[in-house]
Homo-oligomer: A and B are copies of this chain.
Amino acid sequence: MRLATLRDGSRDGALVVIHPSGTLYAPTSEIAPTLQAALDAWPNAEPRLRALAETLARDPERGTPLDVADLAAPLPRAYEWVDGSAYPNHVRLVRKARGAEPPRDLLETPLVYQGGSGVMLPPTAPLELPEPTWGLDFEAEIAVVLGDVPQGTQAAQAGKHVRLLMLANDATYRDLVPGELARGFGFFQSKPATAFSPFAVTPDELGTAYQGGRVHLRLQTKLNDVLVGDVDAGPEMHFSFFDLIAHITKTRGFVAGTILGSGTVSNAAPERGVSCLVERRARESIELGAPQTAYLRSGDRVRIEMSDETGRSVFGAIEQVVR
């Protein structure tokens, strides 16, 4: 089942189910008016939403044509946005690029940061660059939407708390990062609002590509129509989503609707490309002594998408233009 949220002028938008074609939707208002409402009562809402999705699949004439530009983020405001950094290759390259060491226990303990969750951007939102010197970069990621997760959840029990999967563009102002991290409290101003894919999908939509809390598909990123990343999201995700859930629940619980990100999807093989520009800059620094690639400029277009074995765009595309 694939879900999306239509912008309707309200703060949380209107939940819809998506036809298998990805081009039609049906409103869910009689079941749950918003995605948060569905997540709040998932055991009751999920089978009814699935029944509606099946009806729409059988009878496309019940559907309304979808314009992705009308979509909000699946959760336009969320109660938490926790972003991991589960691909060690990304951490190593980014830290090298800013002359910092990766944590010594990089492979033993997940790195996560708490992000802002009050404003979650639509898949077609502009990428805001009010000040060019901030160094705007994209970060293509996978994110899961959780149900209620109690404190002390073990990785082996974490799978049942994953309700939905999405893609995210966790944009970063790179040139605000070093000063901010040097002060010891983590990211804040360096992380503007995050954008999400059109569709949030149940794990079964991924079939066997979703295994052990990892998505074994390629995440494709285009910059101005040029493919810059075709990165395998599976094998190099050192900490699975289940490991990340165990990590974040060590000292507190989480409510339904919490969004948990993988961090930038990254492969050690350079030919796979990148899911963010800072990795390319890091490679250039290592090979050529200095970065050659500029950060994003006004007018640049970023497209993030993931296709399954059949070529279907599972989540729809994040398509943002810098302004």
Contact = CB atoms under 8 A, between A and B. Distances in A.
Give the number of copies in the complex.
Answer: 2
29 contacts: A11-B40, A77-B79, A78-B79, A79-B117, A80-B117, A80-B118, A103-B182, A103-B183, A109-B183, A111-B183, A111-B185, A113-B185, A114-B116, A114-B186, A118-B254, A118-B257, A119-B254, A128-B151, A130-B152, A130-B251, A173-B251, A181-B184, A181-B185, A184-B186, A185-B187, A186-B186, A189-B248, A191-B251, A193-B253
Interface residues of A, number: 51
Nearest to A257: B118
Contacts of A118: 79-80, 254-255, 257-258
Contacts of A77: 79, 255
B186 A113 contact: yes
Interface string A111-136: 11111111100000000101000100
| Most B CB within 10 A of own CB, among A82, A103, A250 | A250
Interface in A177-214: 181-193
A290 interface: no
Q: Which of A11, A118, A252 has the most CB of B within 10 A?
A: A118
Contacts of A51: none
A176 interface: yes
A100 interface: yes
Given A79-B77, A114-B114, A152-B130, A255 B185 contact: no
Contacts of A176: 251
A111 B182 CA distance: 11
A188 B113 contact: yes
A252 B103 contact: no
Nearest to A40: B11
Given A119-B252, A119-B254, A252-B119, A185 B112 contact: yes
Interface in A92-114: 100, 103, 105, 109, 111-114
The 10 A-B residue pairs with the shortest CB-CB distance, nearest first, are A186-B186, A79-B118, A118-B255, A103-B183, A114-B114, A113-B185, A80-B118, A192-B251, A189-B250, A189-B251
A12 to B, nearest CB: 10
A184 B190 CA distance: 14
